[in-house]
Amino acid sequence: MSTRKLKKPEELRSHRWYGVKDLRSFGHRSRTAQMGYTRQDYAGKPVIAIINTWSDINPCHGHFRQRAEEVKRGVWQAGGFPVEMPAMSLSEPFQKPTTMLYRNLLAMETEELLRSYPADACVLMGGCDKTTPALLMGAISMNLPTIFLPAGPMLRGDYQGNYLGSGSDTWKYWAELRAGNITESDWRNIENGIARSPGHCMTMGTASTMTSATEALGLSLSGFASIPASDSRHSQMASMTGRRIVEMAWEDLKPSDILTRASFDNAMSTVLALAGSTNSVVHMIAVSRRAGFPLTLDHIDALARKVPVLANLRPAGEYLMEDFYYAGGLRALLKQLSPLLDLTQQTVDGKSLGELISEAKVFKPEVIRSLDNPLVASDSLAILKGNLAPDGAVIKPPAAESHLLKHTGKAVVFKNYDDLSARIDDPQLDVDKDSVIVLQNAGPLGAPGMPEWGQLPIPQKLLKQGVRDMVRISDARMSGTSYGACVLHVAPESYVGGPLALVRDGDLIELDVPARKLNVLISDAEMTKRKQTWQAPLKKFDRGFGKMYSAHVLQADQGCDFDFLETSHQEQSGTDPEIH
């Protein structure tokens, strides 16, 4: 039972729309009546906004219309008034050039929906990659009582009796197809079996990473991030979320009451113990800056040096999210990790993290390992710096062939993605297994939107020789389901004249992950000379959202939020509208 002082009905935010006696409130009530509700349905009750990112073109959220009804059932049961509000979906497989271009737009939409309508509290429905950080960023800035409802992973993929993992097995079998090791018919069978239910990617990609981080932050009900989307317990979770958010509206339990510097450390440590997606670095920085507790690349690297990988999940390990759930799920992993967590942190459950995981158990130790038997001892992510990335770059060492983690090779440079596509498989390309493939102009402004191009393809002639990994460097991101010795998020990006723009074919590049170094082996004088002759690329946008994006997006090391959206709960984070 919460010890928080409960709000009175006239203290609810929605009271200003519904409860006062004036002309405008007549309009609000009469238009609510137009929707078939009577005063008994809503008078004196908290209005619960259900921000639903369902779309016909988002397969990861295919079950969200039903889940929204289940949330509403819980809201009604607990004495609230549910109002579903659709928001843009950010469908990872379909939206071009990348959903990342629109993450901040969904964050803005979320914040402004909550601000402009009579919401007392909200349930955020997301899961497909960028939807989770976007919804969190908007809701944290608005700071109403909030629960995030995760979409849940889809079922394991199936191909000839083998389990397939989202993304990871796509990249793997695509390389085998290009190498001539599987047939077009095999490839079609994989196409039909790799995604066979609603839900987000079921590897430890960006979706699973970010929903798990959200639960570790304390913003989802405990144990819910791991439930497969098509499991009946996922429906139960939805109605429980509906019931709990009504209580939170009365308790006025807001993100600013839950989020702390320590809760962000808990979330980032969880990401590292899961060997989570490199994308989470950008997203967690952005989310943390909205809450006023900014994570930095250096701090993330310091955490990475001490947090071991406990989850044996693809792409770093062997199993899939369905296995993880049956093994005990995130609660069991957090229990294993608890010596490295701050268990006093509060959550939307109204309890501390420690109370919530006290009885969690591991049922399959091969899937969720212990601190004394980790999958990898440390460094599930590493932050690199050097003259090629003065503001930092990211690599996922467990996803790379280990002999490449300390490597010097000659650069083979592509000036943009079209150049890469046109030349990578050219038999005349001067490249061998020791070369370092470099892609320029794929960052937040250069691509634009920092797409997931960073798992640069291995040249076909090397694939045929059996090469499956090489050092690859770009200012792009890569899918959380990807693998390889891919150095990502190089900052500042090449489009703004970062050193990556100055690399030329044949330059020696030195990668040293244990020493956290990334350098191009040219003199400072040569670097300066090249910088003086560098020409800024043409502008990408003359109008529309793209123009606003270009004017305001921050670099990767700062989370790629818009400069004018960052908030701090130590300050005023937003203003409520006048109700006229």
Q: Which stretch binds ligand FES (CB under 6 A): 13-21, 198-206, 217-225, 414-422?
A: 198-206
What b/e string do you get for 174-187 counting C-beta neighbours within 10 Å, with b at 16 or more? ebbbbbeebeeeee
- Closest contact distance (angstroms) between CB of 99 and ligand FES is 9
Q: How many whole angstroms from its chain centre is CA 114?
A: 22
Pick from 200, 290, 369, 385 the residue near ligand FES by CB under 6 A.
Answer: 200
Q: How far apart are CA 526 and CA 530, in angstroms?
A: 6
Residue 19 CB, nearest approach to ligand FES (Å): 41
CB of 280: closest distance to ligand FES in angstroms?
Answer: 13
Residue 7 burial (CB count, 10 A): 16
> CB-wise, 166 or 567, nearer to ligand FES?
166
Residue type, 371: L
Which amino acid does the sequence have at 368? I
Of 201 and 395, the one with the shorter C-beta distance to ligand FES is 201
- Read off the amino acid at residue 384: L
Q: Does 93 bind ligand FES (CB under 6 A)?
A: yes
For residue 344, give every residue at least 6 positions away whose Cβ sits within 8 Å of its Cβ, in sequence order, or none: 262, 352, 353, 354
Which two three-digit tokens encode residue 388?
A: 């090629």
Q: Does 467 bind ligand FES (CB under 6 A)?
A: no
Facing residues of 124 across strands?
A: 51, 148
Task: For residues 256 and 351, give the distance between their C-alpha atoms in angstroms, rounded to a whole number.
Answer: 15
How far apart are CB 238 and ligand FES at their closest, in Å?
Answer: 18
Q: Which is nearer to ligand FES, 170 or 558 (CB)?
A: 170
Q: Where in 413-442 is the site for ligand FES (CB under 6 A)?
A: none
- Give the nearest distance from C-beta 206 to ligand FES in angstroms: 7
Query: Is residue 445 within the footprint of ligand FES (CB under 6 A)?
Result: no
Smallest distance from the beta carbon of 205 to ligand FES, in angstroms?
6
Stretch that binds ligand FES, among 174-182, 197-205, 247-255, 498-506 (CB under 6 A): 197-205
Q: Which residues contact 302 (CB under 8 A, 6 or more apart)?
A: none
Instruction: Tell the smallest beta-carbon distance from residue 90 to ligand FES (Å).
Output: 9
CA 504, 510, 511: angle at the middle one, nearest 5?
120
Handedness of CA 173, 177, 178, 180 (dihedral sign): positive
Q: Does 128 bind ligand FES (CB under 6 A)?
A: yes
Binding mask 152-171 for ligand FES (x = CB under 6 A): --------------x-----
The residue among 199 and 499 lying less far from ligand FES, judged by its C-beta, is 199
Comparison of 51 and 307: residue with beta carbon closer to ligand FES = 51
- Judged by CB under 6 A, which of 92, 301, 323, 349 binds ligand FES? 92
Nearer Cβ to ligand FES (239/455): 455
Q: State in Å, rounded, how far the first CA of the chain is from the last one.
A: 38
* Residue ranges in 355-394 that form contacts with ligand FES under rule CB under 6 A: none
Token readout for 419 is 């150049």
Please give the DSSP secondary-structure letter assigned to residue 352.
B
Q: Minimum CB separation from ligand FES for residue 208, in Å?
A: 8
Neighbours of 571 (CB within 10 A): 7
Which positions from 26 to 65 touch ligand FES by CB under 6 A, shown as an x/- string?
Answer: ----------------------------------x-----
CB of residue 544 to ligand FES, shortest distance in Å:
25
Helix axes 206-217, 329-337, angle to 10 degrees: 60
Nearer to ligand FES, 201 or 334 (CB): 201
Chain centroid to CA 361: 27
Asked whether position 129 contacts ligand FES by CB under 6 A, the answer is yes
Cβ nearer to ligand FES, comparing 207 with 400 = 207
Tell which positions 201-260 bind ligand FES, by CB under 6 A. Answer: 201, 205, 207
What does DSSP say about strands 121-126 and 146-150: parallel, antiparallel, or unpaired?
parallel
Torsion (CA) 270, 168, 478, 196 in degrees, nearest 10: -90
Instruction: Please report the sign of the dihedral spanned by the C-alpha atoms of residue 170, residue 175, residue 181, residue 183.
Output: positive
Residue numbers at the binding site for ligand FES (CB under 6 A): 60, 92-93, 128-129, 166, 200-201, 205, 207
